[in-house]
């Protein structure tokens, strides 16, 4: 390229998506540099749930045993309460003929998970620079990305060059915005989440919980160490009502529902209430000349199905081989190679994206969710299949079949 390179690939973001991408690249002998604005360990607003299949990738990265030593939560499945009070319980280990990498999912604080996974990338040979805030992309005269512009911890600006830049910097990705690849949906419901942690919440088991009401839903999951992740997700239209007092809004939302309020009597909040969103973003293409997107930077719809961390880890696994191939070929072949990444993403995640949108619409229109919960509370076999899809080890096509969807959303109406 006629200029000094700081790395062959610069990965912006050291979370699961960036760490997994860097791990695969480093294992393939690529000179990779990970940049993150934070100093690890750092927290991240998240439901902190990992599907059973996420453990497969963590095992491949040789970090699963270390994560287990931190005493994370282990989730046997999901319990969903509809606005009408019907409760559907689905478990990962069931008699449907499918088996995940493990019989349980993990739930672990991001302060723990991200540091361990990033250390896995370091161990594989990736270089990591923390406290490095990327502010823009560097491009050449033909608008090809050639690196990043960043501010170091001392406030000094730096320009770092690479053959490829990977945007793994999350929901509000600087890389995605500068590339103009991500769009916010105006069709699907848009929501924001308020997330905190509590101790001494009553009745918490090894089932993740979703409590859906007419104006949003609340998730509860044991994340180990006596702490419970608590997240309230509401429509974007309520952002002004939330205002600056996020704690008051979250606690009022819980207190106004007797079945939840009684469980929080004596509970102690241990972390500040923080907000994230809006959700419902996607990228038409996850690459541009000299750059690619992975994880939440490429797509983020709704946290209800809990696929975020697995999609980040798996997305890194998918992207890295295409970058390795592109690095070994001429620039003229880049389009053909990275278009393969787009197709791979669609094959891997396309069915799950459809499920997410169906679930998102059901939450937005409680009539459908009430009908679904009524049938799922009676048909545990169907609940187990749906939870298995959310657990990333059952093909989405199983629950996207016309027969399954008819039984789930329509047929209960004819039986009442």
Inter-residue contact 125 to 26 (CB < 8 Å): yes
Chain-centroid distance, C-alpha 16: 9
Q: Which CATH number fits domain 191-276: 3.90.45.10, 3.30.160.270, 3.30.9.100, 3.40.30.10?
A: 3.30.9.100
Instruction: Give tens-digit pLDDT for 139-152.
Output: 999 999 999 999 99
Q: Determine the topology of domain 7-72+108-185+280-351 in CATH.
A: FAD/NAD(P)-binding domain (3.50.50)
Instruction: Give tens-digit pLDDT for 221-265.
Output: 999 999 999 999 998 888 888 888 999 999 999 999 999 999 999
Domain boundaries, the chain: 7-72+108-185+280-351, 81-102+365-415, 191-276
In DSSP terms, 232 is beta-bridged to: 194, 218
Inter-residue contact 70 to 366 (CB < 8 Å): no
CATH fold match for the domains 7-72+108-185+280-351 and 191-276: no
Angle at CA of residue 191, ends 49 and 256, nearest 5°: 85
Band of residue 340 on the pLDDT scale cut at 50, 70, 90: very high
Band of residue 173 on the pLDDT scale cut at 50, 70, 90: very high
What pLDDT score was predicted for residue 55?
Answer: 97
Beta strands in 140-226 (DSSP E): 145-151, 157-167, 182-184, 191-199, 207-213, 216-224
Band of residue 416 on the pLDDT scale cut at 50, 70, 90: very low
CA end-to-end distance (rounded Å), the chain: 69
Whole-model pTM: value is: 0.94
Average pLDDT score, the chain: 92
Question: In this predicted structure, which of 64-73, 137-146, 180-189 has the lowest mean pLDDT?
Answer: 180-189
Instruction: Say if residue 414's pLDDT is above 60.
Output: no
Instruction: Say if residue 162's pLDDT is above 60.
Output: yes
What gap in Å lies between CA 6 and CA 359, rounded to an integer?
A: 44
Averaged over 113-139, what is the pLDDT? 98
What gap in Å lies between CA 339 and CA 285, rounded to an integer?
A: 8
Instruction: Give tens-digit pLDDT for 350-375.
Output: 999 899 888 888 888 888 889 999 99
What pLDDT score was predicted for residue 363?
Answer: 84
Percent of the chain residues topping a pLDDT of 90: 80
Percent of the chain residues topping a pLDDT of 70: 94
Could you tell me the two tokens for 284?
A: 């038409």
């Amino acid at each position: 390229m006629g200029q000094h390179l700081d790395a062959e690939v610069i990965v912006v973001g050291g979370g699961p998506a960036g760490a997994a991408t860097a791990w695969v690249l480093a294992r393939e002998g690529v000179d990779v540099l990970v940049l993150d604005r934070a100093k690890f360990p750092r927290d991240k607003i998240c439901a902190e749930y990992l599907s059973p299949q996420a453990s497969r990738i963590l095992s491949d990265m040789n970090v699963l045993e270390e994560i287990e030593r931190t005493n994370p939560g282990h989730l046997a499945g999901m319990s969903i309460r509809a606005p009408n009070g019907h409760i559907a319980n689905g478990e990962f280990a069931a008699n449907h003929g499918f088996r995940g990498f493990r019989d349980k999912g993990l739930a672990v604080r991001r302060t723990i998970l991200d540091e361990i996974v990033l250390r896995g990338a370091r161990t594989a040979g990736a270089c990591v620079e923390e406290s490095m805030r990327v502010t823009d992309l560097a491009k050449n005269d033909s608008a090809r990305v050639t690196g990043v512009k960043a501010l170091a911890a001392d406030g000094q600006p730096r320009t770092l060059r690479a053959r490829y830049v990977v945007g793994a910097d999350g929901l509000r990705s600087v890389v995605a915005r500068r590339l103009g690849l991500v769009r916010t949906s105006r069709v699907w419901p848009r929501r924001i989440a308020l997330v905190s942690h509590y101790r001494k919440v009553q009745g918490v088991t090894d089932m993740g919980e979703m409590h859906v009401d007419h104006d949003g839903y609340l998730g509860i999951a044991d994340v180990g160490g006596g702490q419970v992740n608590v997240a309230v997700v509401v429509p974007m239209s309520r952002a002004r009502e939330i205002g600056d007092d996020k704690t008051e809004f979250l606690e009022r939302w819980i207190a106004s529902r007797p079945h939840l309020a009684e469980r929080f009597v004596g509970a102690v909040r241990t972390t500040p209430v923080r907000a994230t969103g809006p959700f419902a973003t996607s990228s038409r293409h996850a690459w541009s000349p000299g750059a690619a997107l992975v994880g939440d930077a490429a797509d983020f719809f709704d946290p209800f199905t809990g696929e975020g961390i697995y999609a980040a880890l798996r997305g890194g696994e998918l992207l890295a081989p295409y970058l390795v191939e592109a690095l070994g070929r001429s620039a003229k072949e880049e389009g053909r190679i990275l278009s393969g990444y787009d197709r791979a993403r669609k094959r891997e995640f396309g069915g799950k994206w459809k499920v997410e949108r169906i679930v998102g619409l059901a939450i937005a229109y409680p009539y459908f969710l009430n009908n679904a919960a009524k049938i799922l509370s009676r048909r545990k076999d169907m609940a187990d299949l749906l939870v298995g899809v959310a657990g990333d080890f059952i093909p989405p096509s199983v629950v996207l079949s016309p027969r399954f969807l008819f039984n789930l959303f329509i047929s209960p109406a004819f039986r009442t």
